[in-house]
Amino acid sequence: MSIKPYCSPINNNNDNYVTICPKDKEKCLPPSCFCETGELIRNGEFEIPGVELGRIFADWESLAAPESNVVRTTTNVYQGNSAASIQTNVLPQPILRTVLLRQNVTLTPGCLYKL
């Protein structure tokens, strides 16, 4: 794909590029001309392990309650070779715990996204 001289590619930090062309802007119904395309969630299948200390998966941050862990497993995998698994201690009575596995994704207001 060649970029016209009056167009400028913009890196939106989602490993893809959005190209904005002033001449094409007039032909589009906003905001469809400026919506990101492709996969916005990085390492969505948890295949790439993290290399930073405390990071189980690349591009993901995990925050677990005390006595809980988010781990990378290769058993009981829905698709691919690895999965995220939450491990916790068994206690005599139920206890509420919060475990987060998250990443920041840049979105454009008005665009439709499919999970």
Reduced to 3 states (helix: H, G, I; strand: E, B; else coil), residue 24 is helix
Phi-psi region of 97 (alpha: psi -120 to 50; beta: other; left: phi over 0): beta
What torsion do the CA atoms of 27, 29, 31, 36 make, to the nearest 10 degrees?
-60
User: How far is the C-alpha of 68 from the C-alpha of 70, rounded, in Å?
Assistant: 7
Q: 6, 47, 2: which is closest to 24 by C-alpha?
A: 6
pLDDT tens, residue order, the chain (115 aa): 444 454 555 555 555 555 555 555 555 555 556 787 888 899 989 999 999 988 999 999 999 888 888 999 999 899 999 999 998 887 888 888 889 999 999 888 888 888 7
